[in-house]
Amino acid sequence: MNDLDRDKLIEAAFEVQKNAYAPYSGFYVGAALLTEDGTVFTGTNVENSSFPVGVCAERSAFAAAVSSGHRKFTAICVTGERKNNPLLGSNYCMPCGMCRQFMTEFCDQNFEIISAKSKTDYQINKLSTLMPGAFMFFGTTF
């Protein structure tokens, strides 16, 4: 991923994070997903009064992209910020285990996950580091 794409993704994740629906946790998450052809899809967490029904920002972004016909991805940027909740920290926002498995369906091990605290303070990890030995149905991608 080049610098321009990385900056574009970080900017888009912070922008969409403003739309996060997180009245229960107070943790607002944004995700911006880059397709192989350079298109960006975004998503936020969308919580629910029945807690497990809520969805993470990363899976929202993947669902939007796949629904629009995209299946090949290069990178995702994730941003997270607590609002009025002193129990939640402000570390680099890492994708949860369920989202890592979700990514494995569509992304190879070189897929990059940018966890950004700000436009200039971020960590980049490969999917191979965050999800080694992921479950694959017959080892197949469709």
Binding residues vs ligand THU (CB under 6 A): 22, 25, 27, 29, 45, 47, 54, 56-58, 95-96, 99
Closest CA to 59 of 93, 90, 98: 98
105 as an active site residue: the answer is no
Closer CB to ligand THU, 39 or 85, in the complex: 85
Complex with ligand THU: residue 13 or 99, whichever CB lies closer: 99
Q: Which of 58, 81, 105, 112 is catalytic?
A: 58
Q: Where are the beta strands (DSSP E) in 45-121?
A: 73-82, 112-116
Task: Please give the Cα distance from 79 to 66 (Å, whole number).
Answer: 21
Q: Closer CB to ligand THU, residue 47 or residue 112? A: 47
Q: Which two tokens stand for residue 32?
A: 């911006």
Q: What is the closest distance, in whole angstroms, from the C-beta atom of residue 2 to ligand THU in the complex?
A: 25
Is residue 54 a contact partner of residue 48, using CB atoms and an 8 Å limit? Answer: yes
Query: Which residues are marked as active site?
Result: 58
